[in-house]
Structure 1
Amino acid sequence: MAIPTALASLSPREAIADAMYRCIIGLDLNDWALFDSAWVQKSEASYDMPGLLAVTGLDAMKAKLFTHIGALVTQHSISNIRVDVKDGADTASLTAYGIAQHYRPGEGMDPTTKGLLTGAMYSIDVVKESGDDVWRVRKWSNRLLWLDGDRSIVSG
């Protein structure tokens, strides 16, 4: 299933939220091109899960976040999205809740296998880079609120 990295006719608020969706869907589908399209293409891109993981730059994200989580069977569901943007601005922020189910590769359809369910609050800063009119994530903070299940699935 090929997911496009750009969609036509999005409103500014939809385009801002789409940066978050491209990241999450890219992670769930283990699609580096889609995940990468969601982030600023500079070393300033950062992902932070306070107390657990902090990475800066896409190379570090790929090594410490995408390669590990992308290989799992995951499904992230996003809700309660709030976008804060001023008319004509090229920066914005959004918050959302995320619930994510995680299974080891090949175990997602096995009802006898334990998974890991997590709940989090996302705080995301986005920027519209000059020239292409596409919103991208500059900073993503993922405050983990709860865990239920087998923690070893995401720890190695």
Structure 2
Amino acid sequence: MALPASLPSLGVREAITDAIYRCVLGLDTDDKALFDSAFTPDASFDLNGNVMSGLDAIHTGCYDPISRLDTTHFISNVRVNVREDGDSTASMTTSALAQHYRHKQGTEAGATRLLTGGLYFLELVKDGQDGLWKIKHWKLQPVWTEGDRGVMTGK
């Protein structure tokens, strides 16, 4: 089921927050179009010092390996900073939990998994073409992990 990228009834802060929701829901449902709608083409993603520049690099280093897993990402403690004068830039911080299982093993009793907790720091811009808020820069700062790191590499 394809999910729409645009939800026209959202207020400004909700529309900004929707960028990270589109991103993680795209990962969890293997919906590349929804994932891509969350980013500018020249976005950067800093995963604990490993910086991916451009959407192609983000696909290779993030979307491709994660979207193939059984995952759920939960976003909370969202804080949005946007100027009230209609500026088309914003920043956002969130806390995140992400559960990762190997493909088709998420519902198996006793399956190995990797649970991570982290902080997200995002810079966003409003796209003048489609009106969506998009991630320009995303820094993911892992705080803790629990479980088998081999889940991420398929080992």
Q: Give the TM-score range, shorter chain.
A: over 0.9
Partner of 1:83: 80
Tell me the TM-score normalised to structure 1 length. 0.94
* Secondary structure of 2:65's aligned partner: helix
Offset of residue 49 of structure 1: 1.2
Distance 1:91 1:120 in 2: 24
Matches within 5 A, 1:43-54: 44-51=42-49, 53-54=50-51
Partner of 2:55: 58
The answer to whether 1:67 aligns with 2:64 is yes
Offset of residue 122 of structure 1: 0.3
Tell me the TM-score normalised to structure 2 length. 0.95
Give the counterpart letter for 1:139 in structure 2: H
Alignment root-mean-square deviation, CA: 1.0
Distance 1:100 1:93 in 2: 21
* Secondary structure of 1:117's aligned partner: strand
Higher strand share: 2
Gaps of 5+ in 1: none
Distance 1:94 1:17 in 2: 8
Following TM superposition, the consecutive aligned residue runs of length 4 or more in structure 1 with deviations greater than 3 angstroms are none
Partner of 2:35: 35
User: What percentage of aligned pairs have identical amino acids?
Assistant: 45
Q: Say if 2:2 and 2:31, in contact at 8 Å, map to a contact too.
A: no
Give the counterpart letter for 2:14 in structure 1: E
Partner of 1:109: 107
Gaps of 5+ in 2: none
Q: Say if 2:116 and 2:142, in contact at 8 Å, map to a contact too.
A: yes
Distance 1:99 1:143 in 2: 12
Distance 2:140 2:129 in 1: 29
